[in-house]
Structure 1
Amino acid sequence: MSVVASAPGKVLMAGGYLVLERPNAGIVLSTNARFYAILKPLYDEAESDSLTVEWMDLKVNSPQMSRETTYKMSLKDFTLQCSSESRNPFVEYAVQYSIAASYAKLEKYKMNKLLKLLSQGMDITILGSNDFYSYRNQIEARGLPLVPDSLATLPPFTSITFNAEESNAENSKPEVAKTGLGSSAAMTTAVVAALLDYVGVVDLPLYSKNQKLDKSLDLDLVHMIAQTAHCIAQGKVGSGFDVSSAVYGSHRYVRFSPNIISSAQETVGTKPLDEVIGDVLKGKWDHERTNFSLPPLMNLILGEPGSGGSSTPSMVGAVKKWQKSDPQKSKDTWNKLSEANSALETQFNLLSKLAADNWDSYKAVITGCSMLKSEKWMEQFSEATDVEIVKALLGARDAMLKIRFHMRQMGDAAGIPIEPESQTRLLDVTMNTEGVLLGGVPGAGGFDAVFAITLSDSSTNLTKIWSFHNVLAMLVREDPRGVSIESGDPREK
């Protein structure tokens, strides 16, 4: 009896910084890069009398990092005793809070079955798609070109190398090079989903290609526990868009009020954990999510510039400091950014509607524009419907240029590189490539990655140009589905 759950990584296309404050929205795309949690019992047999069992054995494997961590978990107060140095707080909180939620949610008559399961222990293996990590150094070391085909030669779930130069005597474990897809949120969500499904608290959908954004209460339960575990593991209550997209897939997101989780943070340790989690589940979760995904025949493509990445928390801190020091100017910039974000969403929704209403025209326009630079798009078409589609494409492009302008303004004012000069030059080249609709820095910006939206089959143009500019195009694409149960171990596929 094993359960395999997976949850996607994300790209925040619009709404960086603003999404931290209600009622500003973020547009978040989930991707085909997924984190997997494989959960099975540690022992075949339950202890003779599972009702008197006070401890559960737990083993967490991370084969990509060559780590195995063993724990004993108290079934009275859910505390963990760890026998190894390498610990993963995201997995620890995910397990503790999911089991506490099981105690809070399950009816009394189901507790015997739960205790029997827990007395068999838990063996959890976590695996992340290669796209979550940077393998650029390995590709360069092997003398391969910086193109997606080189990435495709790596076996799935390749071992992760640590950034040795970051380590010092105090740091026992150096940081790994990541690509900014939200690995901790996807991992936390996958572990929570696998565990809640395993103990029978939720019944999650099996993976399917055309999974819709489900309104099911089971997904809401996974969301609440994963958000809480992720925030407490991070030590701060973030906006939560990364966990939300890991659960629900691509959507338009407005954050929850932070006090739902901050009040839980305050009571952890002063009252039983299952009561704390029970309060979280009863809390007023006021986040909003609206269906959103890219219009047809559009592709998300991500590029890794290889410039080392950025620290999101310190950049967010700098923006908040600037907001306090110059409230009027910052409010003005935020309002303009918010308008540009809304305009981008409006144009994308219009394009989706035009595709649904006039598929043949839409397909012809997208295919035609995919072979040309944007300044040539309008002169190709004269039919009213075709012109309307091109206008919407150019409207989306214009909205993105405004977003980039105001993000640069904000970065300059706050003294941080939200769109650093090197990224500006790269994005200008990107947006001047045939078939590219728009490009930008995702999320909080910085040096992590750049993204582009390309039309039809034009991604290969951009891949070549990026390679010339020393940027590695990744294999990531948009996949609008959220968390789901897999039919088996992904290593066996």
Structure 2
Amino acid sequence: MAVVASAPGKVLMTGGYLILERPNAGIVLSTNARFYAIVKPLYEEIKPDSWAWAWTDVRLTSPQLSRESMYKLSLKNLMLQCVSSSESRNPFVEQAVPYAIAAAHALFDKDKKDALHKLLLQGLDITILGCNDFYSYRNQIEARGLPLTPESLAALPPFTSITFNAEEENGQNCKPEVAKTGLGSSAAMTTAVIAALLHYLGVVDLSPLSKNEGSADLDVVHIIAQTAHCIAQGKIGSGFDVSSAVYGSHRYVRFSPDVLSSAQDALNGTSLQEVMAAILKGKWDHERTKFSLPPSMNLLLGEPGTGGSSTPSMVGAVKRWQKSDPAKAQETWKKLSEANSKLEIQFNILSKLAEENWNAYKCVIDICSKQRSEKWIEQSTEPSQEAVVKALLGARSAMVEIRNLMRQMGEAAGVPIEPESQTRLLDATMDMEGVLLAGVPGAGGFDAVFAVTLGDSGSNVAKAWSSLNVLALLVREDPRGVSLETGDPIIKEITAAVSTVHIE
């Protein structure tokens, strides 16, 4: 009885830095890049003497990294101890397991707790797999002399083994890092593991029948995933990445950090069950509003190959600047927040126009997808089409404003939020036919660029990027959040990969 759950990676389109503080909102898009967790019993039979056991076994397998770790889990205080000589640990899964089980203890009555105990005595066998899109395969593609195109990426087998970045030149004790594309792999992985465990243990039911938008089960997954993710990171982040991994694309306002204050008690010896009970009862005041890209618009991500940026250090620099020049920082943030709202409003207008008059909307998108933006205004022949063009141009100008303000903030804080090389690339991208807007996602830096393209213009943008040494990824927006999967993800991915290769 294996349970397979998956959770999506994310792209933060607006709200970089601001999203760290309430009540600022950000628009986060979930993607078709998914992390899978498979949970099943480690042993088929429970040994007769097992009632006296104080510990049970947990095995964690990560096939892409060719790693397997064995743990002992204390059934009394839910401590997880690694017993294999594995060099590299996975702090996210190491927090996910005890917190998911503590939640079961906090929510179950006596009968259910007895059944839980029996289930845990069979051990836990956990396997994690991440879609290729989470990792950078640019080096392998270049090493094989293949062109930097989505087709080269699509030719890689699903769940390809992950190589590590080269070590620092001085080679001093630096652990090799997996090169990532910035889609929030740790949040997607934590959420998938929590969801699979909670469903397996009977805490939630994620089968399609019970899973509606406002599902209380999803809220439980969300709370426990946020908790485990924050503890593993050693800090309370904004949580937008976990929120989108659970709920899919939406507009997000963060929770008040003090709802996790009781998680600190676990470090001071309070039992994990008590801590989890308090967190589940806490006032989770995050806000999420439905949002996804308007019809006939596509998210496109590109990897410029200039190496990743460290988000925490950039966030730290921005926070220091806020302290050192509060008046200027306040003014920039206010303007940024307004520009973010403008963009969101234009997207909502476009979705509404598509609903009210699909033919006029579709007609404008088709024409504009083959033109550069300065020609768009000439394309509208009637008021209903003019409204669509006006909203498209409104969205563009809001994005230009967001980018200007993000650059100013970066310059003031002394960090490359939109580095010069990215500025040149983004300007060139926004000049291409059928491109609505382009930007750097999240905290910015060298990680990735995104574009929102109209109609079928994406494949031409991918080709143009290739000539600029930018690898267009296979990632697209997919508004689905966490979900239960039927069957083996490897088989599923292979069939899905075959069916998606249709790039001209």
- Note the 1:119-138 alignment, pairs <5 A: 119-138=121-140
Q: Is structure 2 residue 449 aligned with structure 1 residue 450?
A: yes
Q: Which residue identity lines up with residue 122 of structure 1 in the other structure? A: L
Give distance in 1, aligned partners of 2:444 and 2:360: 36
Aligned to 2:157: 155
- After superposition, the Cα gap between the structure-2 partners of 1:207 and 1:296, relative to the gap in structure 1 and judged at 3 Å, is farther
Residues of 1 paired with 2:16 and 2:262: CA distance? Answer: 26
Q: Name the count of aligned residue pairs.
A: 489
Q: CA deviation at 1:453?
A: 0.1
CA distance, structure 1, for counterparts of residue 377 and residue 77 of structure 2 = 66
Which residue does 2:10 correspond to in 1? 10
Q: Residues of 2 paired with 1:104 and 1:266: CA distance?
A: 16
How do 1:56-135 and structure 2 match up within 5 A?
56-83=56-83, 84=85, 85-135=87-137
Q: Secondary structure at the match of 1:377?
A: helix
Which amino acid is the alignment partner of residue 198 of structure 1?
Y
- Going from structure 1 to structure 2, the CA distance change for 1:484 and 1:166 (only over 3 Å counts) comes to farther
Which one-letter code corresponds to 2:195 in the other structure? A
Match of 1:32, SS?
strand
The reply on whether 1:295 has 2:294 as its aligned counterpart is yes
Instruction: Name the CA distance, whole Å, in 2 between partners of 1:346 and 1:102.
Output: 41
- Taking the aligned partners of 2:70 and 2:476, their CA distance within structure 1 comes to 35
The yes-or-no answer on 1:193 pairing with 2:192 is no
Worse overlay, 48-57 or 238-247: 48-57
Q: CA deviation at 1:52?
A: 3.5
- What are the superposed Cα offsets for residues 405-432 of structure 1, whole Å, 9 maximum, x if unpaired? 0000000000000000000000000000
- Structure 2 distance, partners of 1:161, 1:64, is 9
Residue in structure 2 matched with residue 371 of structure 1 by the alignment: 370
The gaps in structure 1 that reach 5 residues or longer are none
Structure-2 residue corresponding to 1:24? 24
Question: For residues 67 and 394 of structure 1, what CA distance do their matches in structure 2 show?
Answer: 50
Question: How far did residue 207 of structure 1 move?
Answer: 10
Q: CA deviation at 1:113?
A: 1.2
- Whether contact under 8 Å (1:224, 1:281) holds in the other structure is yes
The aligned counterpart of 1:184 is 186
> Residue deviations 1:298-328, cap 9 Å, x none?
0000000000110000000000000000000
CA contact 2:5–2:484 (8 Å) conserved in 1: yes
In the TM superposition, what is the alpha-carbon distance from 1:112 to its structure 2 partner?
1.6
Aligned-pair CA distance for 1:330: 0.3
Q: Please say if 1:488 is aligned against 2:490.
A: no
Counterpart amino acid of residue 38 in structure 2: I
Any residues of structure 2 matched to 1:207-246 within 5 Å, and which? 214-246=213-245
Deviation of 1:233 after TM superposition, in Å, equals 0.3
In the alignment, what sits opposite 1:404?
Answer: 403
Q: 1:170 to 1:262 in 2, by over 3 A?
A: farther
Q: What is the identity percentage for the equivalent residue pairs of Structure 1 and Structure 2?
A: 72
User: What TM-score do the two structures reach when normalised by structure 1?
Assistant: 0.97
In 2, Cα distance between equivalents of 1:51 and 1:111: 14
Are 1:170 and 2:169 an aligned pair? no
Give the whole-Å Cα distance in 2 for the aligned partners of 1:122 and 1:116.
12
C-alpha spacing 1:417/1:484, structure 2 compared with 1 (3 Å): same
Check conservation: 2:262, 2:278, Cα contact below 8 A.
no
Partners of 1:164 and 1:113 in 2: how far apart? 48
What is the alpha-carbon distance in structure 2 between the residues aligned to residue 257 and residue 282 of structure 1? 14
Task: Note if contact 1:207-1:487 (Cα within 8 Å) is conserved in structure 2.
Answer: no
Q: State the 1:50 CA deviation.
A: 5.0
Aligned to 2:502: none
Could you tell me how far 1:474 is from its partner in structure 2?
A: 0.1
Distance in 2 of aligned mates of 1:297 and 1:205:
30
What is the CA-CA distance between 1:270 and the residue it aligns to? 2.1
Write the distance in 2 (CA, Å) between the matches of 1:50 and 1:113.
Answer: 14
* Partner Cα distance (1:286, 1:196) in 2: 22
**Correspondence 1:336-485 to 2 at 5 A:** 336-485=335-484
Contact persistence 1:207–1:486 (CA under 8 A): no
1:138 counterpart letter in structure 2 = Q
**CA deviation string 1:315-365 (max 9, x = no partner):** 000000000000000000000000000000000011000001101111111
Task: Give how far 1:266 is off.
Answer: 3.8
Asked if 2 retains the 8 angstrom alpha-carbon contact of 1:206 and 1:487, the reply is: no
1:16 maps to a residue whose letter is G
Q: Which runs of structure 2 are paired with 1:292-331 in the superposition (5 Å)?
A: 292-331=291-330
- The residue aligned with 1:143 is 145
1:39 is matched with which residue?
Answer: 39
Instruction: Name the SS of the counterpart of 2:438 in structure 1.
Output: strand
Q: Given the superposition, is the C-alpha separation of residues 58 and 199 from structure 1 closer, same or farther in structure 2, using an over 3 Å criterion?
A: same
Q: Distance in 2 between matches of 1:235 and 1:245?
A: 20
Distance (Å, rounded) in 2 between the aligned partners of 1:437 and 1:423: 17
Q: In structure 1, what is the Cα distance between the partners aligned to 2:477 and 2:444?
A: 19
Matched residue SS, 1:488 = coil
Contact 2:265 2:275 in 1 (8 A): no
For 1:76-111, what per-residue CA distance to the aligned partner results, in whole angstroms no more than 9, with x for missing partners? 111112123321000010011001111111111111
2: CA distance, partners of 1:150 / 1:265: 46
Structure 2 gaps of 5+ residues are: 493-504
CA deviations over 1:226-271 (Å, ceiling 9, x no partner): 0000001000000000000000000000000001113312443421
Q: CA RMSD in A?
A: 1.4
> Would you say the 8 A contact 2:262–2:275 is kept in 1?
no
1:283 aligned to 2:286? no
